[in-house]
Amino acid sequence: MPQQTKQKPVHEVRLGAVKAAIWENQTDNGTRFNVTVSRIYKDGEQWKSTDSFGRDDLLLLGKVVDQAHTWILQS
């Protein structure tokens, strides 16, 4: 059975616990980028991630998304 390789983002922006992953997709109309955002946290000894953000995460979320937007425009 062939092994599937997990696609990795072409770029990541991280500030504190908030990160944006930038994904590249080739289409008939050229390259398109998508962005997923998450917050990492530690649950006991295990690191986990969520797409839920609290009040104190929102400023970092805005900055991370802004930096992701800038990276895409410069690509």
- Name the residue ranges covered by the structural domains of the chain: 11-74
Question: Residue 15 gets which letter from DSSP?
Answer: E
Strand pairing report for 46-50 and 11-15: unpaired
What are the contacts of 54-63 at 24+ separation with CB within 8 A? 57/17, 57/18, 60/15, 60/16, 60/17, 60/18, 61/18, 61/37, 63/15
pLDDT 10s digit of each residue in the chain, 75 long? 566 678 999 999 999 999 999 999 999 999 999 999 999 999 999 999 999 999 999 999 999 999 999 999 999
**Using CA atoms, how far apart are residues 30 and 63, in angstroms rounded to an integer?**
27
Residues whose CB is less than 8 angstroms from the CB of residue 16 and which lie 6 or more positions away in sequence, other chains included: 60
- Whole-prediction pTM value? 0.88
